[in-house]
Amino acid sequence: MGNDSVRGKNIFTRFLPFYGWMSVIIMLAINMLAFQATRLVNGSWHHYDFSLPIDDYFPLIKEFIIIYIPIAYGQWIYGFYLAARERKACCYRIFTAEIIAKLICMACFLIIPTTMVRHDVTATDFLSRWVQSVYNTDPADNLFPSIHCLESYILTRAAFSRKIGMERCPAWFKWASVPVTALVFASTLFLRQHVFVDVIAAVVVVEIGLFIACKVVKE
């Protein structure tokens, strides 16, 4: 039984180090708290629409759902897996920055709840139904900053940041993250999931998170 326990532990830690597992678990808990739990509090509050004239130039383009769901989630899962496998200081910097950014988002969701007007989806083809299902399961609230943009941007910044230094990040993922992140940004706008200021706010909170994380997490 003892050997089985050791063998199970080795399999567990072979995939990710213990500190990597803990970082991922804490990140997911904070994400649920910031994005979902806040809806239990602010659901009946007045919500603000931060739409600008520039948002009128983004029509609904259903094809972007392919970027918004499978490609974005693929980038996040693999990117945070790479981050959790990094040496301890690097791992802690990335996840600390992520958590700080999410806590700022949570504060924004509670202080200035936001909403927006979405387009009507009348077509019945597969992609249109997929877009409508996202609308049904993800209400137009907790928009500012955009969590979608936050996740993609922080992984791209971490891959290129010398201070963080993702040493195990493959070159292909590093360079692929740039166009993928740009497409994720675009998908939030062309699917009418977010408005322009939500994207800018996501970049700002990530930069704040990275700045603080690099100050507090030392080698």
Band of residue 119 on the pLDDT scale cut at 50, 70, 90: confident
Over residues 50-101, the pLDDT tens digits come to 999 999 999 999 999 999 999 999 999 999 999 999 999 999 999 999 999 9
Over residues 10-49, the pLDDT tens digits come to 667 778 999 999 999 999 999 999 999 999 999 899 999 9
Over residues 168-185, the pLDDT tens digits come to 889 999 999 999 999 999
The whole-number average pLDDT for the span 196-219 is 94
pLDDT at 15: 84
Contact (CB, 8 A) for 65 and 131: yes
Structure tokens of 159? 């891959």
Q: Is 64 buried (19+), middle (13-18) or exposed (0-12) by CB count in 10 A?
A: buried
pTM: 0.92
The whole-number average pLDDT for the span 210-219 is 90
> DSSP letters along 85-149, please?
HS-HHHHHHHHHHHHHHHHHHHHHHHHS-EE-PPPP----SHHHHHHHHHHHHS-S-S-SS-HHH
Task: List the domain boundaries for the chain.
Answer: 17-216
Helix ranges (H only) for the chain are 2-15, 18-31, 38-42, 65-66, 72-85, 88-111, 126-137, 147-160, 171-190, 196-216
Instruction: State how far the Cα of 69 lies from the Cα of 92, in Å rounded to an integer.
Output: 27
Q: Is 166 buried (19+), middle (13-18) or exposed (0-12) by CB count in 10 A?
A: buried
Instruction: State how far the Cα of 70 lies from the Cα of 81, in Å rounded to an integer.
Output: 16
